[in-house]
Amino acid sequence: MENLKISVIIPVYNTLNCLERCVDSVCGQTYENLEIILVDDGSTDGTGQLCDTLAKRDSRIRVYHKENGGASSARNMGLQKSSGDYVGFVDSDDYIDADVYQKMAELAVEKNYPVVQISRDERDENGNRLADVCIPPERVRFCDSETFIKELLLHRGDCSFCTKLLKKELFAQHCFPEGELNEDFKLLIELLMQIEGIAILPKQGYHVVCRSDSTTRKRSEDSFSRVFLDIVENADRMQELVDSAYPALHEYAIRFNLYQRLDYMLHIPLSQMKKENAFYQSVKKYLRVHIGDTIRNSWLTRKNKAYLLLLTAAPKTVRRVHGWKMRIGK
């Protein structure tokens, strides 16, 4: 297995305070046959210079600087520059346990799996554990593609590429979609269509750090992240995929579509809930057309159904009340 080369791609953008911890956790892997690719995506806070400094400490590190284009474009550059048999991804504000790539590589080689996933946990900036978003299995589990998609539709699966080790050849005809914030989801579904499934390790060896200053978390009262549009568009793609390739998952796809639109409706600013907003109007129309599905779908909670029905009937009023509740809760 020592001949197996792993390329670890780390997109970097303005993470001066946490990049060193991330890179140190990768350099300290018990599996040493790595190439570590740092792609500086136009950082403006000195992070680019830190990348160059870190590269002097370990000959396995290679640094590429580019104009800002987003995480997907940085990952795509990393893939183009990589020479490993397998590739992994780490976000520059996260970190990993020392045996992550050892354990994933061992399982990948032993069973010839094209994709192996390590389980993850989430931490705040002080290192405190947060509630698990994805519940890890009790033992190594092979999840076939249809079952993995079902778990994603129920918001129980992990669509992140950061927790996965993948054969480089899978990317021969695929790349990360640029200009989207929900970039992992679309590509993962494409890859699932061409493999039998994903092997999942129970160990929570990847640590997601939830930063309060993250660009995807900062928003003013009237700002609205592109991610909430992307999740709706991904839901529509999933519906088409399920109906054509996995018809047994139809009810789960409807649930996913309704849930994603609920998330959109609970985040869109009141100032953008207008007649001339075509995307907003299309979401409202979908909710009206699918009132029956909202009522009948057994995979939606009572709270989900109540919010969906109320938002269908009186979206602005519900949003005002929801906003008051959120402010009081703070």
Q: What are the tokens at 243?
A: 């109906």
Q: For residue 219, what pLDDT is reported?
A: 47
Residue pLDDT tens, the chain, 330 long: 778 999 999 999 999 999 999 999 999 999 999 999 999 999 999 999 999 999 999 999 999 999 999 999 999 999 999 999 999 999 999 999 999 999 999 999 999 999 999 999 998 888 888 888 888 999 999 999 999 999 999 999 999 999 999 999 999 999 998 877 677 888 999 999 999 999 999 999 999 998 765 544 444 455 788 889 999 999 999 999 999 999 999 999 999 999 999 999 999 999 999 999 999 999 999 999 999 999 999 999 999 999 999 999 999 999 888 766 555 554
Q: Among 115, 94, 226, which Cα is nearest to 164's? A: 115
pLDDT of residue 327: 55
Contacts of 123 (CB under 8 A, 6+ apart): 129, 130, 207, 208, 209, 210
Name the DSSP letter for residue 270: G
Q: What is the pLDDT, as a whole number, of residue 119?
A: 94
Task: Report the pLDDT value the prediction gives residue 218, as an integer from 0 to 100.
Answer: 45
Tell if the pTM clears 0.85, that is, is over it: yes
Which pLDDT value is given to residue 321? 84
Q: Which of 143, 228, 229 minimizes the C-alpha distance to 188?
A: 143
CA 189 to mean position of chain CA atoms: 12
